[in-house]
Amino acid sequence: MKDVRVTHIGGPTTLIEVGGWRILTDPTFDPPGRRYSFGWGTSSRKQTGPALQPGEVGPVDVVLLSHDHHADNLDDRGRKLLAGVPVVITTAAGSRRVGGRGLRAWESTELTGADRPAIKVTATPCRHGPVLSEPIVGQVIGFALEWEGQEHGVLWITGDTVLYPAVREVPRRMTVDTVVLHLGAVRFPITGGLHYSLTADDAVELCELVRPRTIIPVHYEGWSHFSQGRAAVERAFAAAPDGLGERLHWLPLDQPAGA
């Protein structure tokens, strides 16, 4: 893709700049130290703060919010930011709570603006936990972005998900150039060995299916409920065939990089 810049702010929060658009994902700006409840006996402590504060990010045209009900994807300062953003795209259930455009998996909406390319935003499937967990963990979506002039495929933000058949459907439906990969292998003591986001091995399996040119890991650090960090991801991708690990791009926090 040409003229795309991605800045990793921390956790799942990135700023994507393309064609004059400034798109923020899953805004989390609270300071570290607080423990947040995720419901049903689960909780997590925030261990690191964002690399940038909202005032340092600059104007935001669109927020892509994978889900609104977990503080590691939308916290108190993130919620305040939403009030000043013209367009928020989130889950159908989330739109009833925070406003904006609500999408279910495979539904699309379009971003349009003067002197900017139209961007088609398609919601992609997520399951934020094991089989039958959605009534407990709630709705989550990812986002695929496409616009005129893309050379190699869409930009895909996976959202918080495990690897399951509906996610495997993404590379069957679209060609992905760059994937912003939510990782961390989330676990909670109350549910033992169950995972609520991609493990490093599952991320490798998914990327073997997707075959993106660029893989940008996010949401693997800064919270106590992550069971795998950067080292585990690097080991898994280093062992992957066909040089898949060479496609990993670890973005330094707050430094924009081309995708």
Output the average pLDDT for the chain.
Answer: 95
pLDDT category at 259 given cuts 50, 70, 90 is low
pLDDT tens for 79-100 read 999 999 999 999 999 999 999 9
β-strand pairing of 87-91 with 101-103: parallel
Strands (E), 42-107: 42-45, 62-64, 87-91, 101-103
Query: The tokens 């009030």 sit on which residue?
Result: 83
Q: What is the pLDDT of residue 1?
A: 41
Q: What is the pLDDT of residue 258?
A: 65
Q: C-alpha dihedral over 216, 95, 191, 185, to 10 degrees? A: 0
Fill in the DSSP letter of residue 105.
Answer: T
Domains identified in the chain and CATH numbers = 4-251 (3.60.15.10)
Whole-angstrom distance, CA of residue 162 vs CA of residue 172: 18
Q: What is the pLDDT of residue 89?
A: 98
54, pLDDT greater than 70: yes
Q: Which amino acid is at 4?
A: V
Closest CA to 134 of 142, 125, 147, 122: 125
Q: Which amino acid is at 259?
A: A
Fill in the DSSP letter of residue 130.
Answer: S
Query: The tokens 């703060």 sit on which residue?
Result: 49
β-strand pairing of 176-182 with 154-157: parallel
β-strand pairing of 13-18 with 4-10: antiparallel
Q: At what angle do helices 200-210 and 230-238 cross, to 10 degrees?
A: 50
Q: What percent of the chain has pLDDT over 90?
A: 88
Alpha helices of the chain — where are they, by DSSP H? 54-57, 76-82, 92-98, 134-137, 165-168, 170-173, 200-210, 230-238
Q: What is the pLDDT of residue 254?
A: 62
pLDDT tens for 137-194 read 899 999 999 999 898 899 999 999 999 999 999 999 999 999 999 999 999 999 999 9
Query: The tokens 């961007």 sit on which residue?
Result: 119
CB of 32 closer than 8 Å to CB of 46: yes
Instruction: Count Cα neighbours of 243 within 13 Å in the Cβ-side half-sphere.
Output: 4
